[in-house]
Amino acid sequence: MIRCVRRSAAFSLLLLAALPVQAARVQLVDAGELDRNPANRRGAIARYAVPRGEILAGGRPVTGSRDTGQQLRFERVYREGPLYAPVTGFSSQTYGTTMVEDAEDAMLSGADPALASLPLWRDLSRSRPAGADVATTVEPAVQRAAFTGLGGRRGAAVAVDPSTGRILALVSSPSYDPGVLSGTGRAAREAWAELNARPTQPMLNRAIRQTYPPGSTFKIVTAAAALDAGVVTDADAPTGTPSPYVLPGTRTRLPDASPGCGDASLAYAIQWSCNTVLAHLGTRVGAEGMRQAVTRFGFNDPGLRVPSPVVPSNFDTDMSADQLALSSIGQFDTTATPLQMALVAAAVANGGELRRPYLVDRITSGNGTRTLAHGRRYAARRAMGPLTARLLRELMVRVVEQGTGAAAALPYATVGGKTGTAQHGLGNSGVPYAWFISWAQAHDSARPGVAVAVVVEDAEAVRGHISGGGDAAPIARAMMAAALTVPSPD
């Protein structure tokens, strides 16, 4: 009997000794694998146990949280969801996060260690602090002007502050309500399927995730390259370019849509958008010179984030002479995001200095008592010489005051612009894209306050009447008017 008791006691002691060993193994060895196991919902439960921090535009929240009383307790809601969806993205318990919701997810969800005043206690208690608030640089009036102007047509519009890089508006159209994707139920799944099935792709962020042939708006880049390289020393002197212009090494004749382009000057070519002059100048600058110029403007940069990643705008680095000529007027394989073309206008407006764009202004604790981070800002880099920028400003003003961009004029501001109508598709069979890039400086201001790019994919006009000046310039005008009424943060 005593022997049995001793054996039972020894076995119990062995089990007691094994228990902490097993607990330590689970905590130290298996913890990572268990956390990654899809069947483990502790992480998700903790993630949605507290309300998510807010995203702000113009100092006001454009997001919120709804207490569902379910295991995944708080769901995201959006105020004016379609208006701000290209900025906020969505936060879904089923489909993850996008845009600012994704880029600042750790702060918004309360997972970032910077939010814990006592990090060690947080690790021991496994508690999660309230999410931080993320203030964006978006100005609601400018955002609304772009959204209203596009009116549901496919396209995008971007506005930036040339002197700082603050993104004042980021609109993609048509848009969607991100709130319909927040939950886990049947409604969210059906909404996801329906949005993805639409041919208009409302969840595609056309402002930063879609590139287009920039058409004649790209001529500003080529003009800057020609002036900086000394290929053109007098903007009003004839360039010796015939119209039509036979592309180098081919028999293909490049025509002009405007009269008077034969042997035109650079100034006339910008004002009336002569293809021949800028194509010829691109070949005179040469492939390497053009490659260096577009790099200074930000083309072919795969690392741009605002903080969401931006697809790189493209200018080929290996081309024949005829391809270089077409690329120099925004055709062939040259493509750009609307954000990229807004930066081109901004560099001209800012004396040739290009500010890296950013969308997050600051991050604060949920109660607003602590500023946790400021939006990442970078030193300006020079896209063109200051004299080149000054001359291009004058030429862009002529476009609005005397040329193809008259629809962008404002009575109380100096406005510079450039129109573009971009052919695309097999044999240029697609409906042309209407482009307009511009900047504006109020008469009582010391510097331009806004630079804008607008692209309209499906302009409401017969094919032959589609133009950047007619379809995109009025939207840019409304955005610039709204931006110039916003008090400067400086």
Set 173, 175, 182, 216: catalytic member: 216
**Rounded mean pLDDT, 105-130:** 75
Between vectors from CA 171 to CA 382 and to CA 274, what angle results, nearest 5°?
55
Output the CA–CA distances (angstroms, integers) from residue 64 to 54, 88, 106, 131, 360, in the order listed: 6, 12, 17, 12, 18
The predicted structure's pLDDT at residue 97? 97
- Determine the 3-state secondary structure of 285 from DSSP: helix
User: Percent of the chain, pLDDT > 90?
Assistant: 73
From residue 254, alpha-carbon distances to 25, 46, 249, 432 in Å are 73, 63, 13, 17
b vs e for 341-360, b when ≥16 Cβ sit within 10 Å of the residue's Cβ? Answer: bbbbbbbbbbbbbbbbbbbb
Query: Any catalytic annotation for residue 216?
Result: yes
User: pLDDT tens across 319-374, in order?
Assistant: 999 999 999 999 999 999 999 999 999 999 999 999 999 999 999 987 667 888 77
Is 26 part of a structural domain of the chain?
no
Of 475, 353, 341, nearest in space to 408 by CA: 475
Q: How far apart are CA 182 and CA 98, in angstroms?
A: 12
What is the rounded distance in angstroms from the CA atom of residue 404 to the CA atom of residue 76? 45
pLDDT of residue 15: 81
Q: Does residue 164 sit within a domain?
A: no
The Cα–Cα gap between 122 and 96 comes to 25
Q: What is the pLDDT of residue 463?
A: 47
Residue 382 in any domain: the answer is yes
Quickly state the pLDDT bin for 118 (edges 50, 70, 90). low
Q: Is the pLDDT of residue 387 over 70?
A: yes
Helix axes 219-228, 287-297, angle to 10 degrees: 110
The pLDDT value recorded for residue 158 is 98
CATH number of the domain bearing residue 356: 3.40.710.10
Q: Mean pLDDT for the chain?
A: 90
- Read off the DSSP letter of residue 335: B
Asked if residue 353 is part of any domain, the answer here is yes
Please indicate, yes or no, if residue 355 is contained in any of the structural domains.
yes
Q: Where are the alpha helices (DSSP H) in 320-385?
A: 321-327, 338-349
Distance from C-alpha of 456 to C-alpha of 337, rounded to nearest angstrom: 12
- What region, left, alpha or beta, does residue 73 occupy, with left being phi > 0 and alpha being psi -120 to 50 degrees? alpha
Asked if residue 275 belongs to a domain, the reply is yes
pLDDT above 90: residue 299: yes
* The pair of three-digit structure tokens given for residue 190, joined into one six-digit string: 């059906």
Q: What is the mean pLDDT of residues 92-104?
A: 96
**294 with 382: CB under 8 angstroms?**
no
Closest CA to 262 of 241, 246, 236, 234: 241
Distance CA 361, CA 370 (A): 14
Q: Which amino acid is at 9?
A: A
Question: Of the ranges 10-24, 164-178, 258-272, which one carries the lowest mean pLDDT score?
Answer: 10-24
Containing structural domain, residue 480: 215-360+376-485
Residues 6+ apart with CB under 8 A from 144: 83, 482
> How many domains are there within the chain?
1
Q: Average pLDDT of 418-428?
A: 75
Band of residue 20 on the pLDDT scale cut at 50, 70, 90:
confident
Given pLDDT bands bounded at 50, 70 and 90, which one contains residue 309? very high
In degrees to the nearest 10, what's the CA dihedral of 2, 3, 6, 7? -150
The H-or-E segment that residue 419 falls in is strand 413-422
* Spatial CA neighbour of 76 closest among 184, 204, 169: 184
Instruction: Please compute Rg for the chain using Cα positions.
Output: 28
Burial 171-190 (b: 16+ CB within 10 A, else e): bbbbbbbbbbbbbbeeebee
Please report whether residue 207 resides in a domain. no
Domain for residue 345, yes or no? yes
One DSSP character per residue, 58-127 reads TTEESEEEEE--SSS-EEEEETTHHHHHHHH--EETTTEE-HHHHHTHHHHHT-SGGG-SSHHHHHHHT-
